[in-house]
Amino acid sequence: MTSSLIQQAYFDELEQIQKIDSMDLKPADAKDMCPALAEALEGMSLEELKRLSISQNDLEPYGRT
C-alpha cells in the first residue's frame, strides 16, 4: 500500500469514527422490543445476558474506549 492510500484509508476511518461519535445512542428498553424478543431475554440466565452485553474491554483492541 502506498502512503497516499494509507493516508486516505486513515481519513476514511477517522470520518466513520466521527460519525459514530456524533450519534445520540441510547439503551433499548422494553417498549423498543417486540414481545417475542422481550420474552426471550426474560428467559435467559444472567450468564447468557452478560455475553450479549459489551464492555470497555471488548472495545479496547479497536481503540474505542
The separation between CA 3 and the C-alpha centre of its own chain, rounded to angstroms, equals 30
Q: Which three cell numbers stand for residue 61?
A: 483492541
Please state the domain count of the chain. Answer: 1
Q: Which three cell numbers stand for residue 11?
A: 481519513
**Domain-embedded: residue 14:** no
**Domain-embedded: residue 42:** yes
Grid cell 428498553 — which residue? Answer: 29
**Residue-number span of the structural domain to which 63 is assigned:** 25-65
pTM: 0.36
Q: Which three cell numbers stand for residue 49?
A: 445476558
**Domain-embedded: residue 3:** no
Averaged in consecutive runs of 10 residues, what is the pLDDT profile of the chain (65 residues)?
A: 86 85 70 78 85 74 61
**Domain-embedded: residue 6:** no
**Domain-embedded: residue 2:** no
Residue of 16, 18, 40, 38 lying closest to 29 (CA atoms): 38
Within the chain, what is the greatest distance between any pair of CA atoms?
52
**Domain-embedded: residue 47:** yes
